[in-house]
Structure 1
Amino acid sequence: MTDISKRTLLLGLATVSLMPVTALAQGKTNTQPFVLAPKFSAQDQGRINRAVAYLQALNSGAGRFEQTDFKGRKTQGDWWLQRPGKIRFAYDAPYSLLVVADGKRVNMWDPRLKAFNQYPLDATPLSLFLSKQIRLDQGVIVTEVTPTTDGFRLKARDRRRDVEGSILMTFIEQGGNLTLGEWTVTDAQGKGTRLKLLTFNKNAPVKADLFVLNKPKDAK
């Protein structure tokens, strides 16, 4: 698998960012298996509630994205969304990767290597905002809320202590309206991949076949 293909898995599309590293395996013990969410101020809790309401209300969308890996390398492409459960990322040439969540699985096709990979959707950070019911206080919890000049950021992680990695979502506010601007997934080694939504045509009509990606006959 190419390096760009591996980093694709970190934009929130596959399991590597949520790979468990148990305290026992590290020679440590911990009697508390879960990370406790901080006590947020009323203002920050309001931001969390607004983000949840915004994500829950998303129906469909489309646009362009730019991905930046941990070495600063950039790639772009097109994306389409159909909640719940479905999203498609089509990378520009020369990579031409396809990453498709069909509601149950995340499928990835690398035509250059003829490599096809598949992951359970609920084992990826994408499930955070593709789920039918958005929750940031159960399996995934918010650990930080940071105001910005044009909105705010939420940092979230799996509440299980032995599962490392996090996702940082940036929300932009314009005229009282909220928009998801980008997210960064950081793995257990502290390496982050950022995906910025360059354009976001909210509620754009999308075709059902965009979210179907079967294993090609010539795949390895």
Structure 2
Amino acid sequence: MIRRDALLFGLAAAFTLSTSAWALDRALTPDEQTMIDKIGAHNSAIRTMVGRFLQIDTNGGRSEGTFFLERPNKIAFRYAPPSREEIVSIGNGFYVLNRRDETYYAYPQDTIPLRQFLGDKINLMDANVIDVKTSDGYLTVTVIDETVAGTVQVSLVFGTDTLDLVQWSLVEPSGAELTFSLYDVEKDQKIPRAFFSIPANYKPLKQG
């Protein structure tokens, strides 16, 4: 089973735009600033996305699934069997669903930094950027976020030609690492409303 904390770190930290004492220790070059501005504008213009993802953990464990995003404030990550986990955001909170047990855990929307990526506009420089690197056709932006569980570091990788997010790697407060890669991505697809909902028969669970 995929840990709920890992699920939420993988989503929330990857797109965080919150503030803290961390900061980039050098000035961005004009080319870097231009590229970051283009990435923000490009991704802000994408209203819906669907695709597949691959998650690899510290021990080499692999999990796959599909994701669905509709701007603003809606996203769903469905993990493939044998996992029965699913994450859904429907604007007022994040929910980790267990499709086998028909239960879910709820997290307030304002405690998860992903809410800002799901908004109408994205500006990476509003995040706690500590490093920016360009190499082999990719721009990597590394940010630090102070979450309710501790400090998370995440590196977001964008294609310099496509401006699309292709991968993110994060380090949890425990030191564990997770890497998420996106592929088979399609934009501006119609997504059924049911994908961003919680079935009426699912029962809420208390966080432990």
- TM-score normalised per structure 2: 0.82
Query: Match for 2:182 among 197, 210, 218?
Result: 197
Q: Which amino acid in structure 1 is aligned with residue 77 of structure 2?
A: F
For the residues of structure 2 that align with 1:194 and 1:82, how far apart are their CA atoms? Answer: 23
What amino acid is aligned across from residue 44 of structure 1 in structure 2?
E
2:124 corresponds to which residue? 136
The alignment's C-alpha RMSD in Å is 2.7
Counterpart of 1:164 in structure 2: which amino acid? T
Q: Write out the 4+ residue segments of structure 1 that deviate beyond 3 Å after TM superposition.
A: 2-6, 111-115, 214-220
User: Counterpart of 1:137 in 2: which secondary structure?
Assistant: helix
Give the deviation of 1:62 after TM superposition.
0.5
Distance 1:180 1:187 in 2: 20
One-letter identity of the residue aligned with 1:134 = I
Secondary structure of 1:131's counterpart equals coil
Identity of aligned residues (%): 22
Gap change, CA 1:121 and 1:158, over 3 Å in 2: same
Which residue of structure 2 aligns with residue 178 of structure 1? 163
User: Is residue 40 of structure 1 aligned with residue 28 of structure 2?
Assistant: yes
Q: In structure 2, what is the Cα distance between the partners aligned to 1:159 and 1:84?
A: 23
Aligned partner (choices 41, 51, 61) of residue 53 of structure 1? 41
Counterpart in the other structure of 1:206: 191
Give the Cα–Cα distance (whole angstroms) in 1 for the partners of residues 150 and 3 of structure 2.
24
Tell me the distance in 1 between the aligned counterparts of 2:96 and 2:85: 7
Q: Distance in 1 between matches of 2:8 and 2:89?
A: 12
Structure 2 Cα separation of the partners of residues 13 and 40 of structure 1: 25
Higher alpha-carbon deviation: 43-52 or 84-93: 43-52
Please say if residues 34 and 159 of structure 1, whose CA atoms lie closer than 8 Å, have aligned partners that are also in contact: no
Query: Is 1:11 paired with 2:10?
Result: yes
> What is the distance in 2 between the residues matched to 1:147 and 1:77?
29
Distance apart, 1:83 and its partner CA: 0.9
Equivalent in the alignment of 1:116: 104
Instruction: Quote the residue 1:156 is aligned against.
Output: 143
Which residue number in structure 1 is paired with residue 57 of structure 2?
69
When structure 1 is superposed on structure 2, of 110-119 and 89-98 the one drifting more is 110-119
The structural deviation recorded for 1:214 is 4.9
Tell me the alpha carbon deviations over residues 94-133 of structure 1, each in whole angstroms, 9 at most, x when there is no partner: 1121111112311111234554111123422423421233
Q: 1:122 to 1:166 in 2, by over 3 A?
A: farther
Q: Is the 8 A contact 2:104 2:204 kept in 1?
A: yes
Q: Is the CA contact (8 Å cut-off) linking 1:62 and 1:201 kept in structure 2?
A: yes
Residue 186 of structure 1 and its aligned partner are, at CA, apart by 2.0
Q: Choose the corresponding residue for 2:133, options 146, 161, 167.
A: 146
Residues 140-174 of structure 1: CA deviation (Å, up to 9, x unaligned): 232211112122111122389x9621221111134
